[in-house]
A and B are shown apart, each in its own frame.
Chain A
Amino acid sequence: MAAIVAGSLSVAAMWAQTNEDFDRGVAEFRAGNYASAATCFVKAEATSPGKTDALLYKGKSLIHLDDFPGAENALRSYMAAHPQSPDAAYLLGFVLHRQNRPSESLAAYTQAAALATPTADDLKIVALNYVLLDDYSDAIKWLEKAVEFDPKNRDAWYYLGRAYYTKGRLAEAQKAFQQLLELDPRDVRAENNIGLILETEAQPGAAIEAYRHAIDWQERSLHPSEQPYVNLGSLLLEQGQTVEALEPLQKATELAPSNAYCHLKLGMAYRKVGRLNDAQREVEKATQLEPDNAGAHYQLGRILKETNSLARAQAEFNRAAELQTRAAGSRGLPSDH
């Protein structure tokens, strides 16, 4: 996510300030040594309070270090002295978004927009705030503006495609992902999502093909995604091609060992081919990773039933039922209730 605001985090070419610590901080920042940079900026601010942009750059350094509360403090302090700084205002919106505070982030972006026109990247974060608020209509509105501002913004196309997909606007989602593929003909995320769309449109053969493309395209990637593997494996499983499903699901769990869904699906595939010990191991792993996953407890119950561990199976079924009831209750009351 940090890459999204890379533009905002670059160091300005022109410096009005003269402070040794500040200069050292800038050098460290440029070199990517963000921890040392942050230390220098703290010193600079202590030496000459309010005389440099040290607090602003401390905030930027801390963003690179994923210390968003620290960044927020630095930016707010900077903004107290520089209330007209659009750079700081937009960054504050970003760090609030990263702290999962979408409403506050949106308020910050509104303030920032009064100071300077937002970029496509800013609009993207605004949209993602609406996603966090489950308001996909507004998310789509801002993502459409983002791609209008910057038609080559890949992330914006990707998130726009995802937002359309979530709202069931499949044709528009497909167009967005195809746009992304025009910008990068081997974009794994786009092709994987086209697979999801085809699956939703009851075209399993074409969906399988899309997942396989995505897998091929990331073959030499240093950071391959588990998503096309788990999607392919799940679809093959649903299609009754259980043996074929095993390999992609195994690969998915290798790539994402802490993803409960991957383990769950692999466990279900093992169960179908009669490898009950393997199935139990994988599904137990899923329940460890997500103890409140009712579906995982249900699948474990099924496996234990088949291994004649009936008391344990019943306990898992009971646990699944309890979690389902709790989940239904916790979804809460309507807003005006």
Chain B
Amino acid sequence: MAPGVALFDYDNDGRLDIFLVNGAPLADPTPKGTIPQKTGSAYWNRLYHQRPDGTFEDVTEQAGLPGAGYGMGVAVGDYDNDGFEDLFVTAYGGNKLYHNNGNGTFTDVTAKAGVGGSGWSTSAAWVDLDNDGYLDLIVLRYLDWDFNDVWCGEHKEGFRAYCHPDFFKPIAPLVYHNNHDGTFTEVAQKLGLAKPGKGLGLAIADYDRDGHIDFFVANDSMAEFLYHNKGDGTFEDVGLVSEVAVDVDGRTYAGMGVDFSDYNNDGWPDLVVTDLANQRYALYQNNGDGSFTYASGSAGIGQMTLAHSGWGVRFMDYDNDGWKDLLIAQGHDLDTIELTYPNLHYREPLLLARNTGQGFVDVSAQGGDVFRHAWVSRGLAIGDLDNDGRLDAVVTTNDGPVHVLHNESHTQNHWILLNLVGHRSNRDAIGAEVSIVTASGKQWATVSTAGSYLSSSDKRVHFGLGKDAVVKRIDIRWPSGIRQTLSNVQTDQILKIEEPVEHISK
């Protein structure tokens, strides 16, 4: 099911680096109660530093990041606001928090921070849930699971398969409040977030634009959760009432990856959730009144994805035309699937769906050679690796190599990349809402490293601008509540924006 990938600039040199999560060896059968451990460098997590020439060097050992246990996902966030991005790595049997020392090394501070957790953790997100200026941490867990020699699938040689999630009990996530002193307190129950789920994907956005960040949990084969931030420090699941818990027919599906972003440029964050073949990926269009419309059919996503199984997913404007497209990692979860369903595939090419403004069309065939290879893709993170204004991506595969997708789209379209730095807000500005106005119209985005599946993306906010060479206005609502406006901003640049704490205009 793993692994995850992170794109982040750990040494603040202006270039994105890559962190890859890795597993651990498993015996067959593995005794109940086992917590798998890495037995050598083949199982290490990996940190690749990007050199000025665009190549990468493995700095895992010197950074102190080989890791431990059977890794799953990763979340990036500067939890102590010291200006250096920290890493939280999820795993089966206990998670790890690595503090970035600012000198190219990291320190395992899990025990002191109190965020080790237990069980089978999957996606995690750094987000300031109470707007106190410090990032809190949400950690999903998949199932109440242990190693157990259970047979699923047909009783024939070669047909043994992974058990369906229905065979296991759901489990509550872990939610950690940042105490501002390097320690955290687990508060899932207190915040109303202890509802058991089968969480795999996690994405944040203020979907009702009430100034309080909300989040969505993609659950496998049960109702999805949309947690509404009530503004009093607690949350409630409004998935069913908001019509995002199930598909258009009221059926649950195998939620895997998720992204939460305004793809139709109407100012309201929309949702995309990947799932298994024969289910159709779910696209929910935000109606702006607290409810969503299941738009998979009308937007073209349904038919495009019926025979596919998706994991990592991000809205990203790959061609800078001002409309956020979709990039999706694919491949069925069962390595035996073709024995029983020959039309479905364990290895599948990536999907690139272009947003025309009227809906999505599959443009994978025009996306280059990389879209012709069938992989067991899982994690997916996006970011501008070479700072050329065209979003790149990194995709992990199960039991296979990682793939770096360099965006070589031939386009003269303009772009802007905004790097927000919070001061009263959390330094990463995670949760900030950014809108831009150009001659062509408005666009919105939320600052986040979360979303996709087990992965963490470039925190910088990217906008494709089409033919517009100037951004007339940039409006930012910082998590602190501070609002900021910039006018007549030149395009085709990476713009660092500091939170204006001296001039508070709430």
A residues near B (Cβ < 8 Å) are 135, 137, 167-170, 200, 202, 204, 238-240, 264, 268, 294-299, 301-302, 305, 313-314, 317, 320-321, 324-325, 328-329, 331-337
| Among listed B54-62, B295-303, B414-422, B475-483, interface-contacting one | B295-303
Which of A240, A305, A332, A337 has a CB less than 8 Å from the CB of B241? A305
Q: Given contacts A167-B341, A320-B250, A325-B222, is CB(A238)–CB(B241) below 8 Å?
A: no
A240 touches B297 (CB 8 A): yes
Q: Can you list 23 A-B pairs, Cβ within 8 angstroms, ordered by A?
A: A137-B340, A167-B341, A168-B341, A168-B342, A200-B307, A239-B297, A239-B298, A240-B297, A240-B298, A264-B249, A294-B251, A295-B249, A297-B250, A299-B250, A313-B241, A320-B246, A320-B250, A321-B240, A321-B245, A324-B246, A331-B167, A334-B150, A336-B150
CB distance from B200 to the nearest CB of A (A): 15
For the complex of A and B, 8 pairs with smallest distance between CB atoms = A295-B250, A298-B250, A202-B303, A168-B343, A238-B297, A317-B240, A168-B341, A331-B166
**Contact pick for A337, options B150, B155, B304, B340, CB 8 Å:** B150
Closest to A135 in B: B154
Size of the B side of the interface (Cβ < 8 Å), in residues, is 36
Partner of B240, one of A301, A333, A336: A301
B351: CB under 8 A from chain A? Answer: no
Alpha-carbon gap, A238 to B340, bound state (A): 28
B163 part of interface (Cβ distance < 8 Å): yes
Cα A183 to Cα B249 in complex, Å, equals 36
Q: Give, as a whole number of angstroms, the nearest-CB distance from A332 to chain B.
A: 8
Q: Which residue of B lies closest to A305 (CB)?
A: B241
Closest approach, in angstroms, between the C-beta of A58 and any C-beta of chain B?
40
Report which of B164, B223, B297 forms a contact with A324, defined as CB distance below 8 A. B223
Q: How far is the CB of B16 from chain A (nearest CB, A)?
A: 36
B111 in the interface (beta carbon within 8 A): no
Asked whether, in the complex, the Cβ of A337 is within 8 Å of the Cβ of B251, the reply is: no
Asked if A334 meets B340 with Cβ closer than 8 Å, knowing A296-B250, A324-B252, the reply is no
Q: Contacts A169-B343, A320-B240, A324-B222 known; A204 to B167 CB distance under 8 Å?
A: no
Write the residues of chain B forming the contact surface with A, with a CB cutoff of 8 angstroms: 150-152, 154-155, 163-164, 166-167, 221-223, 240-241, 243, 245-246, 248-252, 278, 291, 297-298, 302-304, 306-307, 340-344
Q: In the docked arrangement, what's the CA distance between A334 and B222, Å? A: 18
Report how far A71 CA is from B250 CA in the complex, Å.
42
> Which residues in B have their C-beta under 8 angstroms from that of A268?
248
- Given known pairs A167-B341, A295-B250, A301-B240, the reply for A334 and B297 (CB within 8 Å) is no
Contacts of B249 in A (CB 8 A): 264, 295
Contacts of A296 in B (CB 8 A): 250
Residues of A within 8 Å of B152, CB to CB, are 334
* Contact residue among A168, A329, A335 (Cβ-Cβ distance under 8 Å from B166): A329
Q: Which residues of A contact B252 (CB under 8 A)?
A: 324, 328
- Asked if residues B164 and A331 are in contact (CB atoms below 8 Å), the reply is yes
**Which residues of B have CB within 8 Å of A168?**
278, 341-344
CA distance A314 to B166 in the complex (A): 25
Q: How far is the CB of B28 from chain A (nearest CB, A)?
A: 16
B243, closest chain A residue (CB): A302
Q: Which residues of B contact A239 (CB under 8 A)?
A: 297-298
Closest residue on chain B to residue A204 by CB atoms: B303
Residues of A contacting B241 in the complex (Cβ-Cβ under 8 angstroms): 301, 305, 313-314, 317
Q: Which residues of A contact B248 (CB under 8 A)?
A: 238, 268
Q: Contact partner of A333 among B167, B221, B278, B344, CB < 8 A?
A: B167
> Known: A314-B241, A336-B150. Is A295-B246 also a contact (CB below 8 A)?
yes
